[in-house]
């Protein structure tokens, strides 16, 4: 009897953080520093490993970014090992994050950076309603092309955002780019 492949998400813990590091090293051209991984251990539902038939094949790591009177979710990394792409694993990870922000109900948008030539990721995020809102020249220090697009998915109208007191949410003080070790 054949059974369907399973895709499940699991917590990042001190026991499996090395798997996350290894995965990120393989999937992303950017190196993430120790602070990134310390913060990830505190991120709760915002950091997850993806298992395909019990094997770690992907991970998503996000954090809350507060700036300009906006509360936004920043996707630091969302990636899947190459042989396991186009199987719906990225979708499962993104839907987890989308469920989180929708349940919270107090986010203005979700955003991330991608290298301008990362057509696969751009197509993936556009499918979920993201738009290119900005190009950051020389965003990356050690990889080519160095330019990044900012992709953003708005979650509520701007007029509504202006009336919200952002001092009451579960916030942290990071600026959007600080905990990322740029390559
Ligand atoms: C982007 C990424 C996470 C997508 O993960 P995935 O598991 O392959 O995504 P899914 O299988 O859920 O794809 C969902 C849909 O997105 C679109 N999509 C995904 N990858 C695509 C690609 N390479 N080209 C065109 N469309 C793509 C398709 O519409 C796809 O649906 P379909 O397979 O039914 O056509 C994966 O390519 C990846 O890990 N890339 C490297 C890391 C990265 O660049 N991350 C983005 C920056 S955080």
At residue 173, the pLDDT reads 35
Q: Which atom of ligand 1 is nearest to the CA of 58?
A: 39
Q: Which atom of ligand 1 is nearest to the CA of 123?
A: 26
Nearest CA to ligand 1 atom 21: 120
Is residue 182 in some structural domain?
no
Question: Ligand 1 centre from 68 Cα, in Å?
Answer: 31
Pocket lining: 112 vs ligand 1, CB cutoff 6 Å: yes
DSSP string for residues in the chain: ------EEEEE--TTTHHHHHHHHHHH-SS---HHHHHHHHT-GGGEEEEEETTEEEEEEEEEEEEETTEEEEEEEEEEE-GGGTTSSHHHHHHHHHHHHHHHH----EEEEEEETT-HHHHHHHHHTT-EEEEEETT--SSSSS--EEEEEEE-S-HHHHTT--GGGSS-----TTTT----
pTM, whole model, 2 decimals? 0.89
Is residue 159 in some structural domain?
no
Tell me the β-bridge partners of 20: none
Is residue 109 in some structural domain?
yes
Nearest CA to ligand 1 atom 31: 86
Is residue 181 in some structural domain?
no
User: CATH number of the domain that 11 lies in?
Assistant: 3.40.630.30
At residue 100, the pLDDT reads 98
Is residue 179 in some structural domain?
no
Domain of 11?
A: 7-154
Long-range CB contacts (within 8 A, 24+) of 94-97: 94/60, 94/124, 94/128, 96/9, 96/45, 96/48, 96/60, 97/46, 97/60, 97/62, 97/73
Band of residue 2 on the pLDDT scale cut at 50, 70, 90: low
* Ligand 1 mutation pick, 32, 86, 113, max ligand atoms within 8 A of CB: 86
Pocket lining: 123 vs ligand 1, CB cutoff 6 Å: yes
Is residue 162 in some structural domain?
no
Is residue 166 in some structural domain?
no
Band of residue 156 on the pLDDT scale cut at 50, 70, 90: confident
Domain count, the chain: 1
Q: What is the pLDDT of residues 17-56, one digit of tens each?
A: 999 999 999 999 999 999 999 999 999 999 999 999 999 9
List strands edge to edge, sheet with 131-136: 7-11, 47-52, 55-67, 70-80, 109-115, 148-154, 131-136
7 vs 54: CA distance, rounded Å: 8
Residue 152, pLDDT > 60, answer yes
* Ligand 1 mutation pick, 50, 98, 117, 120, max ligand atoms within 8 A of CB: 120
> Which positions are annotated as active-site residues?
74, 113
């Amino acid at each position: 009897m054949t059974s369907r492949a399973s895709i499940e998400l699991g917590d990042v813990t001190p026991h499996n953080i090395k798997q996350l590091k290894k995965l990120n090293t393989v999937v992303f051209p950017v190196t993430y520093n120790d602070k990134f991984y310390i913060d990830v251990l505190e991120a709760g539902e915002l950091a997850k490993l993806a298992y395909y038939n019990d094997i770690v094949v992907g991970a998503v790591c996000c954090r809350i970014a507060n700036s300009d009177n906006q509360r936004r979710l920043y996707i630091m990394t969302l990636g899947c090992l190459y042989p396991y792409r186009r199987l719906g694993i990225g979708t499962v990870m993104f839907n987890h994050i989308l469920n989180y922000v929708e349940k919270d109900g107090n986010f203005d948008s979700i955003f991330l950076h991608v290298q301008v030539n990362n057509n696969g990721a751009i197509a993936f995020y556009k499918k979920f309603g993201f738009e290119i809102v900005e190009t950051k020249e020389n965003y990356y220090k050690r990889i080519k092309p160095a330019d990044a697009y900012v992709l953003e998915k708005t979650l509520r109208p701007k007029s509504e955002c202006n009336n919200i007191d952002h001092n009451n949410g579960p916030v942290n003080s990071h600026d959007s780019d600080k905990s990322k070790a740029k390559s």
